[in-house]
Amino acid sequence: MSRRHPADLRAALAALDLMPGELVRVREEVPARFGVSSRYARWAGAPAAPPTGPGPAVLFEQVTPSGGAAEDSGSGYGGAGDDGAGDDGAGDGAEPGASAVLMGLYGTRRRAAALLGATPAELAHRLLDAVAAPLPPVPAADPDRWARSDRKPDLTTLPVPVLTDEDAGPYLTLGAVLATDPATGVRNLSIHRMCVQGPDLLTIWMVPGRDLEQAHRNSLAAGRPLPVAIHLGLGPAVLLASCCPTSLVPTGTDELAVAGALAGAPVELLPCRTVDAEYIAHAEYVLEGELLPDTMPENPRGTTATPEFLGYQGTAHPALPTVRITGITARRGPILQAVSGPGHEQSVLLGFGMEAAVLAALRRRGAPVRAVHCHTAGGGQLMVVLQWAAKRSAEDDALVREASQAVLEEFRMAKLVLSVDEDVDLESDQDLWWAMVTRWQADRDLLVLPDREGFPLDPTQSVAYSPALSADGRTAKAVFDCTVPYAQRRRFRRARFTDAPGSDRR
């Protein structure tokens, strides 16, 4: 069996103790309403509003609950406290009524990949290997290893963050929903935006046509609600697998089996206590419930939802399905994991799966791509950087452009592709801009694809912004070819410093 990696969230935090500066603990009491988000903002990174930049994972050890969506907006957070490191990552020191909240675990590409024993460049290949050789989940052999207690099924007692005073309410931003399609018997694990609407009620936004929505439809057709287990606080392999696009993990493939292969050990499952469903044994919190036929407005009091991953305030849906919570269980000293909406973390989580999917698509074309980087500035989806192997002939000039265009045609979310040579560092924004400035001419190296299917959360993708578009949710796409023409390759050789005799420059 391959090398094992952190099975659960606590093992991941323990691994950060071996990486100096990667984990900050905030020990004073902080309110979930505005307190967590305002303290974390400086570390969120773009697309969060400046001043911000990629930073450490932050464990808020004592967070007081924000209550439900019907409560008033409350006040901001209290005074500053010690941000120093400590020894306990499980939040066991929290006072009654307060619990731990973790933000930013995947806030940098390097840290996210390191938790799975990889570099950012290696992780896409690891995901492809996991999809090719999945390791199915198993019943937990020792349930006592994951001891947990029953809690009152009251969502308002949980430290669910509220990010802005425009939000519809507290949102589960990293709630991973596990359900089994009654028509196919296939499990689906996926992350969805869920708003606390009352003590035992959530609204859930499901992307139309995806697996969970289809499982819900099949369950309702059979005359019953869909049993679900919502997980808050999961191990890195499971969370990353849950974020993979359908183009990488197609319908019929169990995300938990991909997670098992990625982690090097099967994911362990246990039966829920109040619904006919399974849950992931190592989860910090499990919310058991039923996805109902009923709908309600996401924000009964206004038009806004919560900040979206591209950096803009979200628009509330007029009618969303609801989840009735029937039970809550938690480990001792549980950690509720969340993301800030816009920021590096959500972009990193979305980007790695997208990179693997693009890499697989280009491999199928026989394109000599070396690496793919879905940049966090585009939310891990809209901006795709392709690094190409050294060109072998003039025909490769056309091949690079054709393959770059194919990515934009195949992947709806991709809005621009930046192609660079193998001597450019994909992880360096400075190097990418250098390639743009010195290896690109607008009159010959820009390819525009007008009026393609796009992504409505980008506010430019609307007829109000561009009358050239045929409908909202469509966009003009572009290829920026910053690769050196084969015939001129000798003119673009980067200077290298000469090593002094006896030096050991690595």
Contacts of 102 (CB under 8 A, 6+ apart): 9, 13, 57, 58, 59, 60, 233, 335, 336, 337, 338
**Which uninterrupted H or E stretch holds 38?**
helix 35-44
pLDDT at 1: 39
| Angle separating helix axes 255-263 and 120-132, nearest 10 degrees | 120
Confidence of residue 2 (pLDDT cuts 50, 70, 90): low
Each residue's pLDDT tens digit, 126-159:
999 999 999 999 999 999 999 999 999 999 999 9
Position 75 pLDDT exceeds 70:
no
Between CA 339 and CA 104 the distance in angstroms is 7
Each residue's pLDDT tens digit, 334-359:
999 999 999 999 999 999 999 999 99
Between CA 271 and CA 485 the distance in angstroms is 59
Between CA 373 and CA 428 the distance in angstroms is 11
Q: What percent of the chain has pLDDT over 70?
A: 92
Between CA 383 and CA 312 the distance in angstroms is 17
Each residue's pLDDT tens digit, 208-243:
888 999 999 999 999 999 999 999 999 999 999 999
| Of residues 396, 428, 411, the one with CA closest to residue 477 | 411
The token pair that represents 453 in the structure block: 């299917």
Position 86 pLDDT exceeds 90:
no
